[in-house]
Amino acid sequence: MDPCHKHIRRALALSEELISLADAGDAVRIDVGCGVLYGTIRDCAYKIQLLAEKELESHLKQVSGKTPPEAD
What pLDDT band is residue 50 in, cutting at 50, 70 and 90? very high
For residue 46, the tally of other CB atoms under 10 A from its CB is 14
Q: Is 49 part of any domain?
A: yes
Whether the pLDDT of residue 3 is over 90: the answer is no
Contact 58, 67 (CB under 8 A): yes
Counting the structural domains of the chain, the total is 1
Q: What mean pLDDT comes out for the span 7-24?
A: 97
pTM assigned to the model:
0.80
Q: Is 67 part of any domain?
A: no
Q: Is 71 part of any domain?
A: no
Whether the pLDDT of residue 71 is over 50: the answer is no
Q: What is the pLDDT of residue 4?
A: 83
Range of 20's domain? 3-62
